[in-house]
Structure 1
């Protein structure tokens, strides 16, 4: 009869340890801080995020949580470009990868800058769903983030589908629009030692 408090304490301790283990190795909670992913993800929404293992592959369309060295914070964005791909984003919002159009039913507020992006090996190109109001790879000094900076993929319900609206094709951006400056490959290189 005297084992009741011991059993309860042991069960509580086991639950805490299990919870910490799950958070450390499997999932964590992220809070959306901006409207850049609206309407898919609204500001203030808390998201359950699955940590990536070393063997997992990131896929186009994944919503990821990334540690951005350039911004000095964690951001939530959608993967558009994968290593080695050529991504064209027209000013009107139409996108293509290696010359093939990408269907993006989750984008309801197209706009913002366009460009041609040549994604370096080991890197990804990230955009917000609310293209007109998103600070993302199109506007960052280094548009590419190392795959190693991806902390996890967001576990979310089904994306609301909206029919594609007719868009007026704009003039495609010039080749090399966003290929200058620091590259992801340079960001992956070890820093030079000072003397």
Structure 2
């Protein structure tokens, strides 16, 4: 994803520069010489630059400042998001950021507890991950006995039933599906009843300018509980996930016939 972003910026700047350079120094000369040694036509490279620059510029602006597509690569956010979901991320929710550097140039709003966000994890800054915000700056977050506590108050949970997965999510069949009643943002989570590994229990106080994030699939999520730093810097956030626009659960890069049309247009809670 980062290589694509860099390539898009470079291609946009290059095509724009070629078009501008030609307009300032060469176009008038070709027009004057038309009919003599020059037929007055644009060189191929200039012709391509004129054709591609407007398209590239529009894509870059939309992708950098409006909405950006991502594909969910793992089961860490089940059952909210499934492997193969193609989602849109609102790039304007928390402010305008420059492409590549992700530097904020204009603040709009602040992330809220319960938001599902795409970000670059501190330990893997070349990747894009997705989790849910649980702790805000200044919060004390604890996780004990499959229960989340924020500032000493436990979240309430309601058992929904036994989860039945399909495709890449079949491994979670038999897990317990619950509604985690995060204030103002209740959402579904999955828990394994007999998880024979580190549950990531502990207590953490979120420093200023940072957030504590967790996956909804609590026993299949590499989230802030396990990170060396435990916290996500605000400047690493890329945007807020808000809609599923396609689902294709596949092995490798080919979707073949594994489209799930029922998920198209679903909002992300």
TM-score normalized by the length of structure 2: 0.51
Residue 137 (structure 2) aligns with? 83
1:43 to 83, 97, 101: 83
Q: What RMSD over aligned residues (CA atoms) do the two structures have, in Å? A: 2.3
Partners of 1:136 and 1:89 lie apart in 2 by 12
Shift of the 158–49 alpha-carbon distance from structure 1 to 2, 3 Å rule, reads closer
Partners of 2:208 and 2:60 lie apart in 1 by 34
Task: Identify unmatched segments of 5+ residues in structure 2.
Answer: 1-49, 96-106, 156-180, 244-265
Q: Is 2:191 the counterpart of 1:109? A: yes
Give the CA deviation at 1:45: 1.2
Give the CA deviation at 1:16: 5.8
Higher RCO, Cα 8 Å, sep 6+: 1
Residue 60 (structure 1) aligns with? 113
Structure 1 runs of 4+ aligned residues shifted over 3 Å read 12-20, 157-160
* Contact persistence 1:106–1:159 (CA under 8 A): no
* Contact persistence 2:242–2:267 (CA under 8 A): no
Query: Which structure has the larger Rg?
Result: 2
Give the CA deviation at 1:71: 2.4
Partners of 2:224 and 2:56 lie apart in 1 by 39
Shift of the 47–101 alpha-carbon distance from structure 1 to 2, 3 Å rule, reads same
Q: Deviations over 1:130-189 (max 9, x none)?
A: 0011110011111101111101000134568xxxxxxxxxxxxxxxxxxxxxxxxxxxxx
Partners of 2:268 and 2:53 lie apart in 1 by 38
Give the CA deviation at 1:37: 0.4
2:152 to 67, 83, 99: 99
Question: Which secondary structure does the structure 2 equivalent of 1:135 belong to?
Answer: coil
Give the CA deviation at 1:107: 1.3
* Contact persistence 1:79–1:125 (CA under 8 A): yes
